[in-house]
């Protein structure tokens, strides 16, 4: 494909223009740029390039990819004609993006014939909030436009109750607390997020449920705490960033304060973070929806190794 930049497009970023011309999401356009398949006046284009009228953009045809079978549909904990709540397993990406196409939750929902509300981003139909790939637990998905609009509004007004269980390295100084710290891209590593002065407002509440110790480690190195955490905002990596800021990073998290010896002692190969409870007023019917999800076996086993019991749902919700 080859096209000339028009006057109305002048000054726009290359990834924005490319997404519009190809009819794909911006993340897909960025992925094409990352492969070197896009040239701007004969030079490899970068997503941040500002285009000028009269420049030529050449896009090489993508290499044929082997078809990927959609993953199985995760357990559905609640469903009606407007929305559903699924229990996402760790390892499942929520929606297509760079490096993931055909193997996401959205693909599983499509394959199961579940209707999804249209979205401004064609890669994210029905998706109103997300969980990280390696986070397990509850996620609500919209099937109708009315549900999508209502859920987005409720999230913005902080009316959706989201509760997580997190096992952290060390023990917070205070048994309960509120973390208010803005989050944005880490200026030293753009693949991570951090507390930055010009970041977006972010608020987390936490409560210590129990403390324990990993076997085979010294007292300081093996100390852990099980926290119940509530999100008031929903920034990317919010709990991971805020709990690291607190000085108690999530056990098993390779990106934020990794402590491999502690994770190994507890048998963890992914972050101990689980979306355990979800509550909201149904955006169409007005009925109260409240769902809880037990810890998956690998997280329950890690608690047992630390000498901790799995908390009952009422302690989390």
The domains found in the chain, sorted by start residue, are: 2-59 (3.10.290.10), 65-157 (3.30.2350.10), 160-279+291-317 (3.30.2350.10)
Catalytic residue among 15, 49, 123, 132: 132
Torsion of CA 143, 144, 150, 156, to 10 degrees: 50
- CB contact set of 88 (below 8 Å; sequence gap of 6+): 74, 94, 105, 131, 135, 136, 137, 138, 139, 275
In this structure, the strands spanning 273-281 and 76-79 are unpaired
pLDDT for 232 equals 94
Question: Under a CB-based contact definition with an 8 Å cutoff, are residues 45 and 78 in contact?
Answer: no
Query: What are 33's two structure tokens?
Result: 């740029």
The per-residue pLDDT string of the chain (317 residues; one tens digit each, 9 = 90 and over) reads 899 999 989 999 999 999 888 877 777 788 888 888 899 999 999 989 999 999 999 998 766 556 678 899 999 999 999 999 999 999 999 988 766 677 899 999 999 999 999 998 888 999 999 999 999 999 999 999 999 999 999 999 999 999 999 999 999 999 999 999 999 999 888 789 999 999 999 999 999 999 999 999 998 899 999 999 999 999 999 999 999 999 999 999 999 988 999 999 999 999 999 999 999 999 999 999 999 999 999 999 999 999 999 999 888 87
| DSSP symbols for 32-92 | HHHTT-EEETTEE--TTPBP-TT-EEEEPPPPP----PPPPPPPEEEE-SSEEEEEEPTT-
pLDDT for 303 equals 98
pLDDT for 26 equals 79
**132 part of the active site:** yes
**pTM, 2 dp:** 0.81
Terminal-residue alpha carbon distance, the chain: 52
Question: Under a CB-based contact definition with an 8 Å cutoff, are residues 299 and 274 in contact?
Answer: yes
């Amino acid at each position: 494909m080859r096209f000339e930049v028009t006057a109305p497009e002048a000054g726009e970023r290359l990834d924005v223009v490319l997404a519009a011309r190809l009819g794909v999401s911006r993340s897909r356009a960025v992925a094409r740029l990352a492969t070197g398949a896009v040239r701007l006046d004969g030079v490899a284009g970068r997503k941040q390039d500002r285009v000028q009228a009269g420049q030529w953009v050449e896009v090489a045809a993508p290499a044929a990819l082997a078809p990927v079978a959609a993953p199985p549909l995760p357990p559905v904990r609640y469903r009606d004609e407007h929305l559903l709540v699924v229990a996402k397993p760790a390892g499942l990406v929520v929606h297509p993006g760079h490096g993931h196409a055909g193997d996401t939750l959205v693909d599983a929902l499509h394959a199961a014939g579940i209707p999804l509300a249209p979205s401004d981003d064609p890669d994210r139909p029905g998706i109103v909030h997300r969980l990280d790939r390696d986070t397990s637990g509850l996620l609500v998905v919209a099937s109708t436009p009315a549900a999508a609009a209502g859920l987005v509004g409720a999230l913005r007004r902080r009316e959706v109750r989201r509760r997580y269980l997190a096992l952290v390295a060390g023990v917070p100084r205070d048994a309960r607390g509120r973390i208010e710290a803005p989050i944005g891209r880490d200026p030293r590593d753009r693949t991570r997020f951090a507390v930055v002065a010009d970041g977006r407002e972010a608020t987390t509440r936490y409560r210590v449920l129990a403390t324990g110790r990993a076997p085979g480690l010294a007292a300081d190195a093996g100390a852990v705490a099980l926290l119940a955490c509530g999100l008031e905002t929903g920034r990317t990596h919010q709990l991971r960033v805020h709990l690291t800021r607190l000085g108690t990073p999530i056990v098993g998290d390779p990106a934020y304060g990794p402590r491999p010896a502690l994770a190994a002692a507890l048998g963890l190969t992914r972050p101990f973070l689980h979306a355990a409870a979800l509550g909201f007023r149904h955006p169409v019917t007005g009925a109260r929806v409240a769902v809880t999800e037990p810890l998956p076996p690998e997280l329950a086993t890690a608690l047992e190794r630390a000498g901790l019991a799995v908390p009952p749902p009422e302690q989390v919700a």
